[in-house]
Chain A
Amino acid sequence: MATPLLEIKDLHARVQDKEIIKGLNLTINRGEIHALMGPNGAGKSSLSYVLCGKDGYEVTSGTILFKGQDLLSMPAEERARNGLFLSMQSPVEIPGVIVSNFLKQSLNSVLKHRKQEELDTINFMKLLRSEAEKLGIKPEFLKRFVNVGFSGGEKKRFETLQMSLLKPDFCILDEIDSGLDVDALKIVAEGVNSLHTQDNAFLVITHYQRLLEDIVPDIVHIFADGKIIKTGDKSLAAQIEKSGYASFLTKDKQ
């Protein structure tokens, strides 16, 4: 059997002395789309930060293999260069840093790591403009400061743009549907689907089944209190939409 893209075993992690991930197991293979659903404050975003190596999210036990390699021993920028991407739930504003400059530096660091040729400004701008256009992002936008004054929907489109430039192997989409109007949701979902191949995989964190109609998951997990309490197919999402998490949570306690 092929090596899974991502293999998490008995993961425990904490932030500021608070244990947030409490024995999580998850295996994701290339080509798969997984959805992760769960109540507010369950630890979904924390899990994505742990995977990406954000300072302050400390793994206390467990292992994570990414493409067969020990993910936890890699610094955060290495993880990104190796093909891990997080579309953040609330992307932070960075005044003074211009979108196109930031994206060029980001893409070139990744290309360099892959031993591919870095792009000069002219070629980079060509690529950037065409990728932006596909997502309905206007050229003026590329001269603005990163996320500063972006509407909720614009921020999510901008996350998708970065994903389409970097072409990662594994993407975590943390509530990429929040703040999107119906049309924007279509565009972003199309963007994601067009990136999806048999070689990469997605972990889609969402509260709403609506997104999963456009980005159709192979597997749906329910995440509560720091671990996955139930795994099923996409009908699980419909069940949650209908009756909430209560039934799963009480069942878990019995």
Chain B
Amino acid sequence: MNDLPLIQNANMFLSDRPSVYAFRQQSLLSLTKKGYPTLKSEAWKYTDIRPILNQKLTLEHNDLCNHCHCQTEKDDSFALNIFFCNGKLHIEDFNTPPGLNITPLPLALYNKEYTSYIGHAYDADKHPFAALNGFYLEEGLCICVEKAAKIAKPLTINYNAHSPDGRQIHLHNIFIIEKGADIEIVENYTADSDATYFNNIVNEIYIKEGGKLNHYIIQKESHSAYHIALNAAKIQKSGTYHQYYKASGAKISRHENLINLEGPSANAEIYAAYTAKKECLNDITTNINHLSQNTTSSQYVKGVLEENSSAVFQGKIHIAPHADKTCGTQLHKALYLNDNANLNCKPELEIFADDVKCSHGASCGEINKDQLFYLISRGISKKEAIKILTEAHLNEIFALIPNEKIQNKYFY
């Protein structure tokens, strides 16, 4: 068992409170049974994770963050800010508005109301890194928006990587949006060095009847880091989940969405813009399951591939039998900056109902030569012109962001 890469101190993690212990053991069992994915695993066939396993990454034991200047800005007028530094939460009094409960995961693990949510949005057998994350279940947040509460200010979770060289970091968040509640959550991943570390995140998202979550994710990890995230959402009747994702960091980045539209008229929309940097891999994998009638989903993903980069887009829309009058759309547009870039695009439609509307499309191309010439012929350098055009390509996604402050602060 200790031969499994990334698993350390198993005894320590398996001797906690019984409820937590059981979950960690279950997770470890899944991982031991299934192993890490290989290029033969259907869901991972384009993303080779061996570099992560070969790094001999270690866990950090001290619970406190010693570098408190990572908490650089506290613009609380605009958003409620929470800080993690190298995976450790800055404990402080959250000045939370009524209707919003934020509980650090170690405390939430004592609360029966919350523990029942842990591990229910995904199947650990099918998500090996979520299983690894489950084994290390310790750090994270449980965010609960009470029934009918409309939280006006966005909640921003800042994850700062403060030179965590050689570390593995596992974070597990639970977002519970109760009936008719409404919130905007920003997750902001940043690094202050080009350290090699592994950030492994699981967000379990539960949206109850008529609830709404706008989820913004900005991934700017170090270009030597590994970032694997699973957003697993279960959305009830008329619930809405909108995700806006911007990625430009990490050596290997895997951003996976598993979205179950469980109640009638549930809706999910994913807008993503990524830049696959030189020598880096950017993977966006989305599974949307339409499990009920009148459910709708759309995905719009735009990417830029720099020289010697790789990108993966896998988007699966599954429509269950009797999930009639559903509508699922998917569009991916990539821009190559150089011939030496590698894009794997795998759209899949799995339709078991009759009365459905589904579409998918993909396009990829180089920078438009006429546009490039137009800019250059006005005195702008070729390098700047390429930058302007790639930004313009991604700006179409950012223009769709409903919150102007978030749009200006994090996306443009």
Binding site for B on A (CB under 8 A): 49, 52-56, 75-77, 79-81, 85-86, 88, 91-92, 94-97, 102, 105-107, 109-110, 113, 146, 162, 166
A-B complex: 7 closest residue pairs judged by Cβ atoms: A96-B392, A106-B378, A80-B379, A109-B379, A92-B370, A96-B395, A110-B379
Cβ–Cβ contact A94 & B374, under 8 A: yes
Please encode chain B, from 359 to 372, with 1 for each CB lying within 8 Å of some chain A CB and 0 for all others: 00000000011110
Q: How far is the CB of B105 from chain A (nearest CB, A)?
A: 40
Which of B50-58, B383-391, B400-408 touches A?
A: B383-391
- A101: min CB distance to chain B, Å: 8
Chain B, range 328-356, C-beta contacts under 8 Å to A:
none
- What separation, in Å, do the CA atoms of A88 and B380 have in the docked complex? 16
Q: Which of A53, A95, A162 contacts B378 (CB 8 A)?
A: A162
- With a cutoff of 8 Å between Cβ atoms, the chain A residues found around residue B394 in the complex are 96
Q: Is B382 an interface residue (CB 8 A)?
A: yes
B75 shortest CB reach to chain A, Å:
23
Q: Across the interface, do B376 and A77 meet the contact criterion of CB distance under 8 Å?
A: yes
Q: Which residues of A sit under 8 angstroms from B379, Cβ to Cβ?
A: 77, 80-81, 106-107, 109-110, 113, 166
Instruction: Known contacts A80-B377, A102-B375; decide if A94 and B382 are in contact (CB<8 Å).
Output: no
Listed by A's residue number, 30 A-B pairs whose Cβ atoms lie within 8 Å are A52-B373, A52-B377, A53-B377, A54-B377, A55-B369, A55-B373, A77-B376, A77-B381, A80-B376, A80-B379, A81-B379, A85-B377, A92-B368, A92-B370, A92-B371, A94-B375, A94-B389, A97-B375, A102-B375, A105-B384, A106-B378, A106-B379, A107-B379, A109-B378, A109-B379, A109-B380, A109-B381, A110-B379, A113-B379, A146-B374
B-chain residues with CB within 8 Å of residue A107 when the two chains form the complex: 379
B48 at interface, CB cutoff 8 A:
no
B105-126 CB mask vs A (1 if < 8 Å, else 0) is: 0000000000000000000000
Residue of B nearest to A86 (CB): B377
Assembled-state Cα–Cα distance A91/B375 (Å): 11
Mask: chain B, 63-105; 1 = CB below 8 Å from A; 0 = not: 0000000000000000000000000000000000000000000
User: Which of the four size classes fits the interface of chain B?
Assistant: 20 to 34
Residue ID in chain A nearest B382 by CB atoms: A77
Chain A: minimal CB distance from B382 (Å): 7
Contacts of A80 in B (CB 8 A): 376-379
* Chain B residues within 8 Å of A, Cβ to Cβ: 368-371, 373-382, 384, 388-389, 391-396, 399
Known: A77-B381, A81-B379. A95 touches B396 (CB 8 A): yes
A80–B380 CA distance with the chains assembled, in angstroms: 9
Give A146 to B392 CA distance when docked, in angstroms: 11
A109 CB to closest chain B CB, in angstroms?
Answer: 4
> What residues of A have a CB within 8 angstroms of the CB of B382 in the complex?
75-77
Q: A56-B369, A75-B382, A77-B382 are in contact. Are A95 and B377 (CB under 8 A)?
A: no
Which of A77, A91, A102 has the most B CB atoms < 10 Å from its CB? Answer: A77
Min CB distance, A56 to chain B, in Å? Answer: 7
Q: Report the separation of the CA atoms of residues A97 and B355 in the bound assembly, to the nearest whole angstrom.
A: 40
Given contacts A75-B382, A81-B379, A166-B379, contact A97 B373 (CB under 8 A): no
Contacts of B368 in A (CB 8 A): 92
- Bound-state CA distance A7–B378 (Å) is 22
User: Which residue of B378, B388, B389, B396 contacts A166 across the interface (Cβ within 8 Å)?
Assistant: B378
A76 touches B389 (CB 8 A): no
Interchain CA distance A40-B347 in the complex, whole Å: 45
Which residues of B have CB within 8 Å of A81? 379
Cα–Cα, bound, A88→B376 (Å): 13
Q: Please, which residues of chain A bring their CB within 8 A of the CB of B396?
A: 95-96
CA distance A183 to B36 in the complex (A): 71
Most chain B CB within a 10 A radius of its CB, from A88, A95, A96, A105: A96
Known: A102-B375, A109-B381. A97 touches B388 (CB 8 A): yes
Q: A95 to B392, alpha carbons, bound, how many Å? A: 7
* CA gap between A55 and B367 in the complex, in Å: 13
A205 to B85, CA, bound (A): 63
Nearest to B373 among chain A residues (CB) is A54
Are B369 and A94 closer than 8 Å at their CB atoms? no
CB contacts (< 8 Å) of A109 on chain B: these are 378-381, 384
List chain A residues, Cβ under 8 A from B392.
Answer: 94-97
Q: How far is the CA of A242 from the CA of B223 in the complex (A)?
A: 68
Alpha-carbon distance A14/B373, docked complex (angstroms): 18
Shortest Cβ distance from residue A196 to the other chain B in the assembled complex, whole angstroms: 20
A91, B394: Cα distance in complex, Å = 22
Instruction: Please measure, in the bound complex, the distance between the C-alpha atom of A53 and the C-alpha atom of B372, giving whole angstroms.
Output: 12
Q: Contact between B380 and A106 (Cβ–Cβ < 8 Å)?
A: yes
CB pair A97–B376 under 8 Å, yes or no, is: no
The docked-state distance in angstroms from the alpha carbon of A107 to that of B384 is 14
Interchain CB contact under 8 A, A105 and B371: no
Chain B residues in 8 Å Cβ range of A146: 374
Alpha-carbon gap, A106 to B369, bound state (A)? 18
Q: How far is the CB of A54 from chain B (nearest CB, A)?
A: 5
8 new A-B contacts at CB < 8 Å, known A94-B389, A96-B393: A55-B373, A76-B376, A95-B392, A96-B391, A96-B394, A107-B379, A109-B378, A166-B379
